[in-house]
């Protein structure tokens, strides 16, 4: 901060410094809401499904609608912040997110809740990249390092906190409050943003440089693909419904690829696909995120439907998993310096596969500590290793001026992977026993879901062994994941 030339030279810098950290606190609270809403609904799913009359296979859309829209539009949101101005896009995203949270709490039907959750995802896709852009332009040097560390910690801790907060709100109030709680926070944050964030002007005719057609095509293609996968539990992979939806999804994603090759300002520059380390690391991030969020989804139901745990007990049951992810992320920085990204990714994914095999062996008489906790700790530690190592590996072929795109793609892979993880785990579980069932009917599907998680993790480990670079990190190779 520049020193004042007025009569009180020590007061102005102190005041500016306080405002600087007030901005970080504001952005951190807003981002915490966004990350929280990925997992906060998991422990509420049985209550939501029962109260609103969800069909078994449709319940996963309460999670999926949010993360797939948010993930698909993150790159567009970042582009909007650049072209329209960071503060107006942040405020618009915050207002959309807050309004959609209110609508989610008042939703009286499954379709209404799914639609409002998708709207929350739209708000998150604008809010999150605009907030990160404000951080990178507000802070320099050591302050920026501190600010980005806070940002990363929110990403790591928010998902875990969502499980605990969700359990508390459902137990002490009702499931609607997992959404209502965002409303006062959003309003206070918006007021704070108007007072604290610097005005930022946009460009002339910015809409001409927004790849809106590409954004629509990729969102539509991914939603149709998830819808096709979700229905396979009932209709099968070879049914006319599934085949037609897969063909439609393929067509939409092909249109997206064509748009990206021909438009002047693509969301994903075609040259991106010629960076093998970035593509392979994003694939690892996609799969590991899918397994982690799919594990949250299925085990939330297992704890409540099979073990008879309350929503609060379910949230508390996930705390060790959250802690071990943080421990693994810290350990990864030391392991990377010695073994390199490839080895750490492979080790992490092997642990994830082993943890899922243990979950697959769980029976109707399973208990939390002896049967489930060791598996969850294995999965959490493995995912923590894989996330950090993939983030480092992603930067092997990326120049400094491409770090922002690499970070955006890795975050997108994280969000979209979460959507597909829930869809796949739900579809597999539904194929053997309805996901809202209790007892043995659910356990059969749960075991199959865990086996699929092990298969995905094992396949990713083999892919990583071939494609992830064996580089060791430098200071320039760390990218922000949220």
DSSP 313-379: HHHHHTHHHHHHHHHHHHHHHHHHHHH-HHHHHHHHHHHHHHHHHHHHT--TT--IIIIIHHHHHHH
- Tens digits of residue pLDDT in 140-153: 666 766 776 666 66
How many residues in total does the chain contain? 482
Mean pLDDT (the chain, rounded): 80
Can you give the pLDDT at residue 327? 84
Both tokens of 285, joined, read 């991030």
C-alpha to C-alpha distance for 98 and 180, rounded to whole angstroms: 9
- Tens digits of residue pLDDT in 344-373: 899 999 999 999 999 888 776 778 888 889
Can you give the pLDDT at residue 159? 67
Contacts of 423 by beta carbon, 8 Å cutoff, 6+ apart: 60, 64, 226, 229, 230
Residue indicated by tokens 């959404």:
179
- What value does the mean pLDDT take over residues 32-53? 83
- Tens digits of residue pLDDT in 84-108: 888 888 899 999 999 999 999 999 9
C-alpha to C-alpha distance for 160 and 158, rounded to whole angstroms: 5
C-alpha to C-alpha distance for 446 and 453, rounded to whole angstroms: 11
Q: Give the 3-state secondary structure of residue 266.
A: coil
Can you give the pLDDT at residue 155? 64
pTM of the entire predicted model: 0.80
- What value does the mean pLDDT take over residues 206-231? 82
Banded model confidence at residue 56, pLDDT cuts 50, 70, 90:
low
Angle in degrees, CA 177, 127, 78, rounded to 5: 150
Residue 411 host element (H or E): helix 403-432
Helices first, then strands: H and E counts in the chain: 17, 0
Closest-CA residue to 146 (of 156, 135, 137):
135
Banded model confidence at residue 27, pLDDT cuts 50, 70, 90:
confident
- What value does the mean pLDDT take over residues 12-23? 61
More confident call, 453 vs 276: 453
Buried b (16+ CB within 10 A) or exposed e, 72-90: bbbbbbbbbbbbbbbbbbb
C-alpha to C-alpha distance for 164 and 143, rounded to whole angstroms: 31
Closest-CA residue to 302 (of 459, 183, 433):
433
- Tens digits of residue pLDDT in 366-393: 788 888 899 999 998 998 888 888 877 7
Long-range contacts of 252-258 (CB under 8 A, 24+ apart): 252/217, 252/218, 252/220, 252/221, 252/224, 253/217, 253/218, 253/221, 253/222, 253/225, 255/217, 255/221, 256/214, 256/217, 256/218, 256/221
Rounded to the nearest 10 degrees, the angle between the axes of helix 86-106 and helix 11-39 is: 40
- What value does the mean pLDDT take over residues 48-67? 83
- Tens digits of residue pLDDT in 222-236: 889 988 887 777 777
Q: Give the 3-state secondary structure of residue 210.
A: coil
Banded model confidence at residue 271, pLDDT cuts 50, 70, 90:
confident
Instruction: Name the DSSP class of 41.
Output: T
Rounded to the nearest 10 degrees, the angle between the axes of helix 110-138 and helix 11-39 is: 150
DSSP 115-149: HHHHHHHHHHHHHHHHHHHHHHHH--HHHHHHHHH
Closest-CA residue to 44 (of 182, 149, 163, 133):
163
CA distances from 198 to 14, 23, 145, 194, 356 (A): 18, 10, 21, 8, 48
- Tens digits of residue pLDDT in 405-458: 677 788 888 888 888 888 888 888 766 444 445 556 677 788 888 999 999 999
Can you give the pLDDT at residue 13? 47
Angle in degrees, CA 436, 286, 99, rounded to 5: 65
Can you give the pLDDT at residue 11? 38
Closest-CA residue to 167 (of 316, 380, 359, 11):
316
Q: Is the pLDDT of residue 200 over 70?
A: no
Can you give the pLDDT at residue 130? 83
Closest-CA residue to 241 (of 255, 252, 254, 230):
230
Can you give the pLDDT at residue 368? 84
Can you give the pLDDT at residue 117? 95
């Amino acid at each position: 901060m520049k020193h004042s030339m007025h009569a009180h030279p020590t007061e102005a810098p102190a005041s500016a410094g306080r405002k600087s950290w007030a901005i970080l606190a504001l952005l951190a609270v807003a981002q915490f809401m966004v990350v929280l809403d990925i997992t906060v609904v998991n422990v509420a799913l049985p209550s939501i499904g029962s109260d609103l009359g969800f069909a078994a296979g449709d319940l996963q859309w309460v999670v999926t609608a949010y993360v797939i829209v948010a993930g698909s539009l993150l790159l567009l949101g970042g582009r909007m912040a650049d072209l329209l101005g960071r503060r107006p896009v942040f405020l618009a995203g915050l207002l959309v997110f807050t309004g959609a949270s209110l609508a989610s709490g008042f939703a009286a039907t499954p379709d209404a809740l799914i639609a409002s959750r998708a709207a929350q995802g739209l708000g998150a896709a604008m809010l999150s990249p605009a907030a990160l852009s404000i951080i990178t332009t507000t802070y320099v040097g050591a302050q920026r390092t501190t600010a980005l560390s806070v940002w990363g910690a929110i990403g790591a801790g928010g998902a875990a906190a969502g499980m605990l907060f969700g359990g508390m709100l459902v137990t002490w109030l009702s499931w609607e409050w997992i959404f209502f709680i965002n409303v006062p926070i959003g309003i206070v944050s918006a007021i704070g943003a108007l007072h604290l964030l610097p005005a930022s002007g946009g460009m002339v005719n910015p809409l001409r440089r927004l790849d809106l057609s590409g954004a629509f095509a990729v969102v539509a293609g991914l939603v149709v693909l998830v819808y096709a996968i979700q229905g396979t539990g009932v209709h099968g992979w070879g049914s006319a419904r599934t085949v037609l939806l897969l063909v439609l999804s393929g067509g939409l994603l092909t249109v997206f690829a064509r748009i990206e090759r021909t438009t002047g300002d693509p969301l994903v520059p075609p040259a991106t696909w010629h960076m093998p380390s970035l593509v392979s690391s994003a694939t690892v991030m996609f799969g590991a995120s899918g397994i982690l969020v799919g594990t949250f989804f299925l085990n939330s139901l297992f704890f409540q439907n099979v073990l008879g745990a309350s929503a609060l007990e379910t949230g508390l049951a996930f705390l060790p998993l959250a802690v071990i992810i943080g421990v693994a992320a810290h350990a990864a920085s030391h392991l990377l310096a010695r073994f390199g990204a490839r080895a750490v990714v492979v080790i992490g994914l092997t642990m994830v596969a082993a943890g899922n095999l243990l979950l697959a062996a769980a029976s109707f008489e399973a208990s939390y500590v002896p049967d489930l906790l060791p598996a969850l700790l294995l999965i959490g530690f493995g995912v923590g290793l894989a996330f950090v190592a993939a983030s480092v590996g992603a930067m092997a072929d990326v120049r400094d001026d491409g770090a922002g795109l690499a970070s955006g793609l890795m975050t997108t892979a994280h969000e979209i992977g979460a959507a597909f993880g829930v869809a796949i785990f739900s579809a597999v579980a539904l194929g053997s026993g309805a996901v809202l069932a209790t007892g043995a009917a659910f356990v059969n599907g749960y075991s199959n879901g865990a086996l699929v998680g092990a298969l995905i993790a094992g396949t990713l480990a083999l892919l990583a062994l071939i494609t992830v670079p064996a580089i060791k990190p430098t200071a320039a190779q760390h990218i922000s994941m949220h």
